[in-house]
Homo-oligomer: A and B are copies of this chain.
Amino acid sequence: MKEIGIALLGLGNVGLGTYRILADHARDIERRLGAKVRVRHILVRDGGRSRPEDVPASLITRDIGTILNDPEVSIVVEVMGGLAPAKEYLERSIASGRNVVTANKALLNAHGEQLFSQALSRGVDLHFEGAVCGGIPIIRTLREALASDRVSSIHGIVNGTTNFILSAMADEGATYEDALAQAQKLGFAEADPTMDVGGMDAAQKLCLLASLAFAARVSPEQVHVEGITSLRPVDITLGREAGYVLKLLATARRLSEGLDVRVHPAFIPQASPLADVRGAFNAVLLQSAALGASLFSGLGAGSLPTGSAVVSDIIDICRNLLAGVSGRLPMLCSPYLQDVSLIPSTQRRGPYYLRFSVSDEPGVLGRIATVLGEKGVSLASVIQRPSRPEDPHATIVVFSHSAREQDVQSAVKWIDGLASTRSPTQVIRIEEGPGVLRS
């Protein structure tokens, strides 16, 4: 039986998952391919670290040269993460004519176009299903299944850590800090959770999805990114009473003026299929011209889920190698990718939830309502809660009608400067967009 040699760069969480799936499902994969996939080398940075028992010592190397000099290696699989030396290793792999697989979204966001261009001109494949939403085949869906269609919007819950934290806050009334600590204890959040809770992880995934769906250059630096660290249980409770669920929502829409791409906490209707996405699950809701609404959901991270995506990429490239082709799919670079204008988030129009923390005295609501009115933000409903023993400030919550973000921001800036305002106003966007999957 024919054999295809591969090398893994990295033996962390995803690397080990990839290795184990290739080992455990070897017979099924052979049967589907009519060929054997053989791991010939595994590059590790620290050769002295304890190695899982099921990985033979003979595969381990610390030298990328060993891999690049082995003519039997046809596919290099980068699962080490980080920008350096991952970028250099991928470049050298591509330059030497190897097909490559990566699960490194940070690298693709920072240097993707360069890597895809290099792969295109060298005539090799670069696959990256594992870089977005773990095992959910969303890259493949956009690259292949929806190649027939015109995507108009993407609404996603694409970060499991923040979704776990928000689910815990909603279900158990936990504070953000307690929910984060719980997520860290259970392994759903890292010791330094900044990338997740600050929204950057979600933004990197969203930008890859948007680039693919809209054939456009979109990078996290260009888009509005807001995390979940300022959210309070009271926001979740008040939103729920109004029929909403609070999620960290990644949104990309194609509008006539350009692309609207954002990551931020948002209230979505309880009836939205995204409202039911719990714990560490991810989901992506697409709207496209022919298919209409479609939903893709599953575990967005973890050793085996992400490993399964990496292995599906390896199998896809093996099928190309066995057929003697490459470059069947468009690469995320020129001429496929084009420049498009991005709509600034200040131009957003939609309803808002505004929670004001104010001194408990007469006339405050009147002043707030007046400022909002002057700025063109009209009120759909208002909730006023007096100060309580555990909270010396009064809470005023406003659900606005559709308003322009710029006007909301300017009103909030004014209100936050009032003597009666006790702490910065909480502003949460309400997105009615990701509606019910219903004909």
Contact = CB atoms under 8 A, between A and B. Distances in A.
Name A's interface SS.
mixed
Contacts of A322: 328
A226 interface: no
A392 to B, nearest CB: 38
Contacts of A281: 437-439
Nearest to A275: B276
B438 A148 contact: no
A171 B254 CA distance: 34
Interface stretch (A307-315, A360-368, A396-404): A307-315
A106 interface: no
Interface string A56-92: 0000000000000000000000000000000000000
A329 to B, nearest CB: 7
A215 B34 CA distance: 14
A299 B308 contact: no
A308 B148 contact: yes
B328 A438 contact: no
A145 interface: yes
A294 B294 contact: no
Given A336-B31, A438-B281, A439-B281, A327 B323 contact: yes
Interface string A309-338: 111101110011011111111100000100
Copies in the complex: 2
B292 A294 contact: no
B298 A147 contact: no
A320 B144 CA distance: 12
Contact of A291 (B144, B291, B299): B299
Contacts of A215: 31-32
A17 interface: yes
A419 interface: no
Contacts of A438: 278-279, 281
B295 A148 contact: no
Interface in A147-192: 147-150, 160, 164, 188
A128 to B, nearest CB: 13
Contacts of A278: 436-439
Contacts of A439: 160, 164, 188, 278-281, 299
Interface residues of A, number: 73
Given A297-B437, A308-B291, A439-B280, A137 B148 contact: no
Given A140-B144, A146-B312, A299 B293 contact: yes
A28 interface: yes
Contact of A298 (B21, B293, B307): B293
A322 to B, nearest CB: 8
A32 B293 contact: no
A141 B312 CA distance: 10
A299 B287 CA distance: 11
A276 B30 CA distance: 38
A295 B296 contact: yes
Contact of A325 (B24, B150, B324, B436): B324
A231 interface: no
A119 interface: no
A297 B295 contact: yes
25 contacts: A25-B148, A25-B149, A32-B330, A135-B149, A135-B294, A137-B141, A137-B145, A145-B312, A147-B315, A148-B307, A148-B310, A149-B311, A188-B439, A281-B439, A290-B304, A290-B308, A291-B299, A293-B298, A293-B299, A294-B298, A299-B439, A320-B328, A322-B328, A323-B326, A325-B325
Which 6 A-B residue pairs are closest in the complex by CB-CB distance?
Answer: A148-B311, A294-B298, A137-B145, A290-B308, A135-B291, A323-B325
Given A21-B148, A29-B148, A141-B141, 7 more contacts: A25-B289, A31-B215, A280-B439, A291-B304, A297-B297, A297-B437, A323-B326
